[in-house]
Amino acid sequence: MKGLSEHLFWDVQQDGVDPEHHAGWLAQRVLEYGYWSDWQALVAFYGKARLAQIVVNIRSLNPRAFAFCRAWFQLPASQFRCSTPPLFP
């Protein structure tokens, strides 16, 4: 996906990332390590509604990214997969 910072792909080759198949991974990487311009590129690519569907299904987010997503999408914490406790401790 063009328009994203190079540092987001420190462990993978950027041309090997499929924005549809790896949408959750890509969104999490941008939320936790990206710049504002990276977030804007994701919103432009996926649209706000599709990006909300992607983000609520991410298994784990750091607290800062989680708080940002709750505010940005105006959704309660209970809507996010990362806020539910694991089935097995």
* Distance of alpha carbon 48 from alpha carbon 67, whole angstroms: 17
* Ordered per-residue pLDDT tens for the chain, 89 residues: 778 999 999 999 888 899 999 999 999 999 999 999 999 999 999 999 999 999 999 999 999 999 999 999 999 999 999 987 766 66
CA distances from 2 to 45, 50, 60, 62, 82 (A): 10, 18, 25, 25, 28
Burial 12-37 (b: 16+ CB within 10 A, else e): eeeeebeeeeebeebbbbbbeebeee
* pLDDT confidence of residue 89: 63
